[in-house]
Chains A and B, each alone.
Chain A
Amino acid sequence: MSAPKTMFEKVWAAHEVVPQTADTPAVIFIDLHLTHEVTSPQAFSLLKSRGLKVRRPDLTLATMDHATPTRTEQVFGGAPISIESAAKQIRQLEVNCAEFGVELLGLQDSRRGIVHIIGPELGVTQPGKTIVCGDSHTSTHGAFGALAFGIGTTEVGHVMATQCLLQKKPKTFAIEVSGRLRPGVTPKDLILAIIGKVGVSGGTGYVFEYRGEAIREMDMEQRMTICNMSIEAGARAGMIAPDEVTFAYLKDKPRSPKGAAWDDAVAYWRSLPTDEGATFDKTIEIDASSLEPMITYGTNPGMVVPISGKIPDRRGDVVFDAAMKYMGLTPGAPITNAPVNVVFIGSCTNGRLGDLQAAAKVLKGQRVAPGVQMLVVPGSQEVKREAEQLGLHEIFKQAGAEWRESGCSMCLGMNGDTVAKGEYAVSTSNRNFEGRQGIGARTLLASPETAAASAIRGRVTDPREFII
């Protein structure tokens, strides 16, 4: 019998076109290349300048999400897209996809959405695949047991031209999660706690594998929330072993295998999980049952505290001092003292149906506090339709929140949805970097439940006041 292997090693080995040598990195075949308007124009230009084609349009899928407006009249007509350069970028993607024969789920397509949400929805995200996109949160797709990671625009061009990438083999890092999450504590809280523990660069050079009871008990949407933020601990990819939950999710998705091909695929997928006795280069353990809802207080996702806790006091540490100055918060104060001006529910981290249901459960029959702006942005048009069928949009609107078309929206300030200078936003997205949500915007990352509870009270609030 061959030596026990990790899931990552199996997927890597299955995609080696040319193995790594002492002098050259491996050539790795890519099964699915997702692309969008922001990180592709210069890659298409590269192809044009060298007279190259897209080698495998059948393995390439484009959509629009980052610079795309979320106001209905700008998406479906009646008003121009408010940012002219964004409109130009969107048109450029249409022109490039037509010229190179790449399938595009464009602005008005009913299947459009955030690239990391539509891949799974369509069933093109599958276990054992290599998946890349010019976006760091491609790690999301690892929830299916795929090896999925973000690449730069030059590499986008490489994949377009050759369907391959030059890669050095990363190391493996097991995140062992024991115990179960307590009521009111969500996968978002778990991943924030993991980032707090590993640190924002602790995963550099590694592929994470999330393991253990709490992970196995999650549904696919929750597993995606976990894998999504692997990059915030420095890891390019995070993986979760495929199981019956994965197969049930993928069964009958529009582009998942059908008939005999389905049975073949499932048989292969069952061979992927890490073998008993395989070793990881590094391991950490975390007890899920010890966690509370978590929220960030600083300017990177590792600066995180339990919601009943206090902002630490590390005055004298330059990173901490700079973060406190930017955030305008008081060291040592309870985090629930922090005021809230804006609440954003959405993004590829928490913009799926289950996230909207969780927020709606808290908001039902409640009102957003006076002066607080709340934006709920479904992660895809499909999520939007499903939410509307369940009447969630009515709950949000009755509470005083805005309900939009899908897109990245307030996750990053480039599509017209921004947080004003100095304002505090409790956001379900994944980055609280300076200026991420707008110039001078102050971001606190949290779960949909915490965001909704904070909207009602107008200050940072423990969601368990509403849901337990």
Chain B
Amino acid sequence: MDPITVIRSRTVVMPSTNIDTDQIVPARFLTTTTKEGLGKQLFADWRYDAAGQPKPDFILNRPEAAGCRVLVAGRNIGCGSSREHAPWALVDFGFQAVISTEIADIFRNNSLKNGLLPIIVDEATHAWLLANPGVEVEIDLTNSSLKLPDGRSVTFPIDGFARYCLTNGVDELGFLLSKDAEIKAYEARRRA
């Protein structure tokens, strides 16, 4: 995984509340055995018509969405199924950060493991971002700040260890493997 420190991008806004992972990637695409290419299926049921053609008015099909790396979503994105295909699809499409006021647990965990920053902001900042789609924002992971174009800067909570892994490109599996001695000791004292 490449280290992430600063993301500068315009935003794409999807104001729907409770965007669940079945919307992010519908179940029928989960029969894949790889991670690649899921960006094509991102929001498939909202993005394509019955004939499989892109719906021109859906935000991700609009020209202004091209190249955007930051998704601003309505409250509580990522609820439902634990499918990691959801962050895989968002990353494959090109997103590097998701902003909302609430982000579901498993989706947040899965995102952090794939270089997709789950960013929780206060209601006022969220309302402003929803009302001003397409603005250029700057996310600086080293100091957990989100800068808005009017110069305002808000900080977002992020677990220190997750930040360390993301900014250094360290993966958690390497950290767990380094605890082998402790795991062995635990196994020795564990109830059978």
Near A by CB (< 8 A), chain B positions 172-187 give: 172-173, 175-177, 179-180, 182-183, 186-187
Q: Which residues of A contact B186 (CB under 8 A)?
A: 17, 29
A-B pairs with beta carbons under 8 Å apart, 23 shown: A23-B164, A25-B161, A27-B182, A27-B183, A38-B31, A42-B33, A66-B30, A135-B81, A136-B81, A136-B82, A151-B109, A152-B106, A154-B173, A158-B173, A166-B172, A200-B18, A201-B102, A204-B102, A234-B76, A412-B22, A412-B81, A414-B28, A435-B23
Q: Which residues of A contact B164 (CB under 8 A)?
A: 23
A414 and B27 in contact, given A39-B84, A136-B80 (Cβ under 8 angstroms): yes
Q: How far is the CA of A85 from the CA of B31 in the complex (A)?
A: 6
A154 contacts B82, C-beta separation under 8 Å: no
By beta carbon, the residue of chain B nearest A418 is B28
A23 and B106 in contact, given A318-B17, A436-B22 (Cβ under 8 angstroms): no
Q: Which residues of B contact A120 (CB under 8 A)?
A: none
Q: Which residues of B contact A231 (CB under 8 A)?
A: 80
Near A by CB (< 8 A), chain B positions 155-191 give: 159-161, 164, 172-173, 175-177, 179-180, 182-183, 186-187, 190-191
A22 contacts B191, C-beta separation under 8 Å: no
B15 contacts A89, C-beta separation under 8 Å: no
B16 contacts A25, C-beta separation under 8 Å: no
The reply to whether the CB of A385 lies closer than 8 angstroms to some CB of chain B is no
Q: Which residues of B contact A434 (CB under 8 A)?
A: 22-23, 45
Near A by CB (< 8 A), chain B positions 88-126 give: 102, 104-106, 109-110, 113-114
The reply to whether the CB of A122 lies closer than 8 angstroms to some CB of chain B is no
Near B by CB (< 8 A), chain A positions 67-91 give: 67, 83, 85-86, 88-89
Contact of B80 among A27, A204, A431 (CB under 8 A): A431
A201 and B31 in contact, given A39-B82, A268-B191 (Cβ under 8 angstroms): no
Q: How far is the CA of A201 from the CA of B176 in the complex (A)?
A: 30
The reply to whether the CB of A150 lies closer than 8 angstroms to some CB of chain B is yes
Q: Which residues of B contact A29 (CB under 8 A)?
A: 183, 186-187, 190
Q: How far is the CA of A435 from the CA of B47 in the complex (A)?
A: 13
A319 and B17 in contact, given A41-B33, A154-B84 (Cβ under 8 angstroms): yes
Q: Which residues of B contact A163 (CB under 8 A)?
A: 183, 187
0 or 1 for each of A196-211: is its CB under 8 Å from B? (1 = yes): 0000110011000000
Q: How far is the CA of A151 from the CA of B106 in the complex (A)?
A: 7
B31 contacts A86, C-beta separation under 8 Å: yes
The reply to whether the CB of B133 lies closer than 8 angstroms to some CB of chain A is no
Q: How far is the CA of A158 from the CA of B84 in the complex (A)?
A: 14
Contact of B109 among A17, A27, A155, A234 (CB under 8 A): A155
A153 contacts B191, C-beta separation under 8 Å: no
A201 contacts B109, C-beta separation under 8 Å: no
Contact of A25 among B80, B105, B113, B159 (CB under 8 A): B159
The reply to whether the CB of A161 lies closer than 8 angstroms to some CB of chain B is yes
Q: How far is the CA of A154 from the CA of B109 in the complex (A)?
A: 10
Q: Quick one: which of B75, B84, B182 has the most chain A CB within 10 A?
A: B84
Q: How far is the CA of A242 from the CA of B114 in the complex (A)?
A: 37
0 or 1 for each of A406-418: is its CB under 8 Å from B? (1 = yes): 0000001110000
The reply to whether the CB of B138 lies closer than 8 angstroms to some CB of chain A is no
> Which of the four size classes fits the interface of chain A?
35 or more
Q: How far is the CA of A319 from the CA of B191 in the complex (A)?
A: 48
A413 contacts B27, C-beta separation under 8 Å: yes
Q: Which residues of B contact A134 (CB under 8 A)?
A: 82, 84
Q: How far is the CA of A83 from the CA of B113 in the complex (A)?
A: 30
Contact of A17 among B17, B31, B173, B183 (CB under 8 A): B183
The reply to whether the CB of B62 lies closer than 8 angstroms to some CB of chain A is no
Q: How far is the CA of A284 from the CA of B35 in the complex (A)?
A: 40
Q: Which residues of B contact A201 (CB under 8 A)?
A: 18, 75-76, 79, 102, 104
What is the total number of residues of chain B having a CB less than 8 Å from a CB of chain A? 52
The reply to whether the CB of B34 lies closer than 8 angstroms to some CB of chain A is yes
B15 contacts A50, C-beta separation under 8 Å: no
Q: How far is the CA of A108 from the CA of B75 in the complex (A)?
A: 43
Q: Which residues of A contact B104 (CB under 8 A)?
A: 201, 204, 234
Q: Which residues of A contact B106 (CB under 8 A)?
A: 136, 150-152, 236
The reply to whether the CB of B54 lies closer than 8 angstroms to some CB of chain A is no
Q: Which residues of B contact A376 (CB under 8 A)?
A: none
Min CB distance A8 to B, Å, is: 15
Min CB distance B99 to A, Å, is: 16
Q: Which residues of B contact A245 (CB under 8 A)?
A: none
Near A by CB (< 8 A), chain B positions 46-100 give: 75-76, 79-84, 87
A42 and B34 in contact, given A18-B182, A168-B159 (Cβ under 8 angstroms): yes
A152 and B84 in contact, given A136-B106, A234-B104, A433-B23 (Cβ under 8 angstroms): yes
The reply to whether the CB of A463 lies closer than 8 angstroms to some CB of chain B is no
Q: Quick one: which of B76, B79, B110, B177 has the most chain A CB within 10 A?
A: B79
B82 contacts A135, C-beta separation under 8 Å: yes
A23 contacts B160, C-beta separation under 8 Å: yes
A154 and B110 in contact, given A136-B80, A201-B75 (Cβ under 8 angstroms): yes
For the complex of A and B, 7 pairs with smallest distance between CB atoms: A152-B110, A85-B31, A41-B33, A152-B84, A150-B82, A414-B27, A136-B82
Contact of B30 among A23, A67, A151 (CB under 8 A): A67
A89 and B31 in contact, given A158-B176, A204-B102 (Cβ under 8 angstroms): yes
Q: Quick one: which of B84, B104, B105, B191 has the most chain A CB within 10 A?
A: B105
Q: Which residues of A contact B35 (CB under 8 A)?
A: 42
Min CB distance A97 to B, Å, is: 14
Min CB distance B134 to A, Å, is: 20
B28 contacts A413, C-beta separation under 8 Å: yes
A92 and B33 in contact, given A135-B82, A168-B159 (Cβ under 8 angstroms): yes
